[in-house]
Amino acid sequence: MKSVRAVLDYLVSGDVSYIFGIPAGSVNAFFDELYDTPSITPVICKHEGAASYMAASYAKYSNSLGVCIGSSGPGATNLITGAANAMREHLPVLFLTGSVPVNTVGLNASQELHADPLYQSVTKYSQRVDHAEDLLTEVHKAVEIALTGVPGPVHIAMPIDVQLQDISAPPFPTFPERAPLIPNEEDILEAAEKLARSESGYIFVGQGTRGSVESVLELAEMLNWPIVTTPQAKGFIPDTHPLLRGVFGFAGHETASALINEEEAETVLILGSSLGETATNNWNPNITKNKEVIQVDYDAAVFNRKYPVDLAVHGDMNVTIPCLIKSLNSMGLNRLSLPSLERITQVLTEEYNTHNVLLALQENLPKETRFTIDIGEFMAYVINHMAVQTSDSFDINVHFGAMGSGIASSIGAKLADPERPTVSITGDGCFFMHGMELLTAKEYDIPVLFVVMNNARLGMVHHGHSLQYDRAHERFAQESVDISQMAATLGVPNVRINSLEDINDENLSAVLTSAGPAVLEVALVDENIPPMGDRVKFLSSFGK
């Protein structure tokens, strides 16, 4: 068999269902074998950068390995941004890239690139395989590294001659499964004792708690401590929960800032947050100042990185939090029965602005909708104003989200979780980068609604410069383009919104009943400063 055939058989054994990428000469042998691999669907994207974000999103919501492939040279470099994103988000993605024949390395072959060192800083493992008999072994090793410990991306470069070479049928390795990271019992007992004797405290919830929200809520209700979430954890805790104080960090809420900056607390319990810049309002010292700090994470690298930690508990969240609850139970603490809280709903006014548009849209979309949020000024409005109605309802990437990543992420998320309504909120700047993935969604009948906020400018850049320098270059504006007509040329259902009154049953039904993707374009220039919270103060004072 060809060595690349063994790789495909191995991926089949791991129940890999989709491979995202673009075919080209140096990976054509791989794609040729897909003819004989009906259980794996190749999702042929329009750009490798988008493919990498699709694979990462698929890994996130399927809780399995994502696989992404690109050609040698520019295909490999186009995937690097997505690899860096997967590394920041701890997502297991196998990046496969083609490479020139081994005997042409160093001879300036077409699209020659020594890719594996480029990937080393953005993956857990990166290797070029120069011998066909080693290809399956190296792929297995990479997948095992991707799935074990702290999950993350890996990369294998496959020279085309290595892929095509015949090999004897190799011993078939067992596809790895991630073993849970069990916390130290002594750390659990010490943490429980500290929590039990603390007279006051709060819980700082990050995206690492995905999949453990019920346990987080049970723990909070035992302690009767308020909860704040990071921007990337928005969507985990329902707005109706009485202990929720809102989002802290970029575009966060005043209630969360008041808790951290003004209220006394003896202890802070940090769950699943790496305490990066956007999660901490530029590393606000008040998060831990004069408090006992307990941090729980499966990534030991986050402990004591910026904030000193009194007790670090190293373990998977879905194991560690139940262990804490059990220990607290044994100390006599029990879950309180807390009534749901009816929050004051955001008031819609008649002004045609971003705030009102997003609230009106959410009112008219299914409550279980998952929103993937792109990079732009609308992101701040989403974090600050949109309601959390159901669990895991927002995919917000302030760590390493590229413009257009929310478009690709929505496709990966929908393939991983096909029963959940999925809406991508993006902007015209993002759409001009990766909007052609709309055609990918159409070709595969992937029913995602793409809401395009079209203000004919780079909105976040415009407001950032205006705050920081009191002016913004006229070239940050872009020529006004009717994106709904672009969608029409692709044969995709579309509606263009020009006023708040246009958000009505007739227009929404036109884009919500499609068997495939649809576009809802919102033509709107909003001069209001986005609700970026303390980030506004930071930009306004930066360098002054």
Q: What is the pLDDT along the chain (544 residues), one digit of tens a residue?
A: 999 999 999 999 999 999 999 999 899 999 999 999 999 999 999 999 999 999 999 999 999 999 999 999 999 999 999 999 999 999 999 999 999 888 877 777 777 788 999 999 999 999 999 999 999 999 999 999 999 999 999 999 999 999 999 999 888 899 999 999 999 999 999 999 999 999 999 999 999 999 999 999 999 999 999 999 999 999 999 999 999 999 999 999 999 999 999 999 999 999 999 999 999 999 999 999 999 999 999 999 999 999 999 999 999 999 999 999 999 999 999 998 888 777 666 667 889 999 999 999 999 999 999 999 999 889 999 999 999 999 899 999 988 888 899 999 999 999 999 999 999 999 998 999 999 999 999 999 999 999 999 986 555 665 566 667 767 767 666 778 899 999 999 999 999 999 999 999 999 999 998 889 999 999 988 767 777 766 545 444 445 5
Q: Whole-angstrom Cα distance, residue 296 to residue 208? A: 9
Q: How many other CB atoms are found less than 10 A from the CB of residue 544?
A: 5
Non-local (6+) Cβ contacts of 422 within 8 A are 369, 370, 372, 410, 413, 414, 447, 448, 449
Half-sphere exposure of 397 (CA within 13 A, CB side): 32
Q: How many other CB atoms are found less than 10 A from the CB of residue 303?
A: 20
What is the layout of strands, in order, in the sheet containing 494-497?
Answer: 394-396, 370-373, 422-427, 448-454, 518-523, 494-497
> Which amino acid, residue 308?
P
Among the listed residues 3, 45, 53, 50, the one whose alpha carbon sits nearest the alpha carbon of residue 24: 45
Structure tokens of 425? 């909120």
Q: Is the dihedral of CA 530, 531, 532, 535 positive or negative?
A: positive
- What are the structural domains of the chain? 3-164 (3.40.50.970), 185-330 (3.40.50.1220), 354-541 (3.40.50.970)
The helix-helix angle for 459-469 and 534-541 (nearest 10°) equals: 50
Q: How far is CA 489 from the centre of its chain?
A: 30
Which helix (H) or strand (E) covers residue 20, if one does?
strand 18-21
Contact (Cβ atoms closer than 8 angstroms) between residue 95 and residue 153: yes
* Ranges assigned E (strand) in 113-182: 125-128, 154-159
Q: Which residues of 440-467 are buried (b: 16+ CB within 10 A; e: fewer)?
A: bbbebebbbbbbbbbbebbbbebbbbbb
Structure tokens of 423? 């809406």
